[in-house]
Amino acid sequence: MRAVPLIAFALPFLTPTNPPTPAKTTAVLAGGCFWGVEAVYEHVRGVKSVTSGYAVPLPAEPAMKPAAGDYVEAVRIEYDPELIGYARLLEIFFTVAHDPTQGNRQGPDVGPEYRSVILTSNEAEQALAAAFIDSLTSAGVFSRPITTQVSGLKSFKVAEAVHQDYVARNPRAPYVVVNDAPKLDHLRRVFPDLFRDR
């Protein structure tokens, strides 16, 4: 993963007349096991709450139904658009929260439920997410192809209580120490202006 913010590479098209923040203040992102992604955004200034859950993307063809088990582990992020915009949330997603070049996996977790997906709820989010990925690809920010999908959100089901705030409640768990604690360190280093204690 990159050690520098991506905004300079990814968003040259954003201008004061093209604001990056949609009116909606909820973002849904899937980047592997929801424990670590949730923990990252819980430490971001401007984020009000983060909920782990199971998201079902809209199928590519409107007439099709999602396949059985076509969910991804995801987080629902409630944020204050006056303090942080959707574009910054995406920048953190690609820089810190996960590795967007892994396919149906993330680190030790393997399977389609761990794939990278930006789940959008309106056309503004869809356009911004697609443009962000295109810009990263054009700039050659990553040495491998980005596998992140952009899809509309069909549904989001809140995960069981044991999964909520897992990293905060289990900081010494081996999985957390190896896979999730480094993300928080990375967030603190790369985005010191956005990092906050929980």
Pairing relation of β-strands 116-120 and 109-110?
unpaired
Residue type, 23: A
pLDDT at 74 over 50: yes
Of 33, 119, 159, 167, which one is the catalytic site residue?
33
Whole-number CA gyration radius for the chain: 16
pLDDT over threshold 90, residue 111: yes
Contact 72, 54 (CB under 8 A): yes
Active site residue 69: no
What is the assigned CATH class of domain 7-190? Answer: alpha beta
- Looking at residues 23-45, what average pLDDT do you find? 93
SS3 content of the chain, % helix, strand, coil (to 5): 35, 25, 40
Residues contacting 15, CB < 8 A, separation 6+: none
124-158 pLDDT per residue, tens: 999 999 999 999 999 999 999 999 999 999 999 99
What is the chain's length? 198
Q: Is the pLDDT of residue 16 over 50?
A: no
CA 195 to chain centre: 16
pLDDT at 6 over 70: no
